[in-house]
Amino acid sequence: MTNNIAGKVVIITGASSGIGEATAKLLASKGAKVVLGARRIDRLDAMVDEITKAGGEAACQVMDVTKTADNEAIVMLAKEKFGKVDAIFLNAGLMPASPVSALKTDEWDEMVDVNIKGVLNGVAAVMPSFTEQKSGHVIATSSVAGLKAYPGNGVYCGTKWFVRSFMEVLRMESATEGTNIRTATIYPAAINTELLDTISDEATAEAYHGLYKTYGISPDRIASIVEFALSLPEDTTVNEFTIGPANQPW
């Protein structure tokens, strides 16, 4: 397949570790200009330095996806630094799993804010540019929990089902409106990232750590899917990717 990635300007949220970090480094190695957003500026600065030393191009800024202004600011950074935005990878997410009966309502709110509002804020920030240029690619990380229900993950599942539905509507509306905005929703299973670190319910955390220790695979596997999606010709969309360990019966 032709390398359609070289020269593309790609914004990545949740970029400081895991899937976001792996994707940033892979895309930069393929010639993309990556614009990285996350809460940990030290990690972002280190990544930009590493990418630049390897001959790539990157920029970064501190970002809280729940804040509208931060989403707008990273789009402005991309334009000021590289002149345009071709794609955004909405990857920031939280999974503080627990039974509904545990009533960890603060964690419910956090998941809604990051997993749902974070996606909405990112799309809202980039949509005017994509609409004006009549092109753009929105890629979002959902989860296999966005495809089926898992006990202990009621609220998380709900947020990831939202991403699934919203992204499909965005794809259909863009096709109808003639804006040529493509979408790709990714549904990872057990991928070894920092996602489990947010689980405060002890029994749930123990179960998930055991699951991921048994099955978990590298976030590089997801990065390769983002690379594939961005490599497709402009007239082609693959709108959904479900990916996980070959030996995990998710």
Annotated catalytic residues are 156
Beta strand pairing call for 33-38 and 9-13: parallel
HEC profile of 149-218: CCCCCHHHHHHHHHHHHHHHHHHHHHHHHCCCEEEEEEEECCECCCHHHHCCCHHHHHHHHHHHHHHCEC
In the chain, the amino acid numbered 50 is E
- CA-based torsion, 110, 238, 60, 129: positive or negative: negative
Structure tokens at 79: 């334009």
Q: Under a CB-based contact definition with an 8 Å cutoff, are residues 140 and 88 in contact?
A: no
**51 burial via Cβ count (<10 Å: 0-12, 13-18, 19+):** buried
How far does CA 182 lie from the centroid of its chain?
15
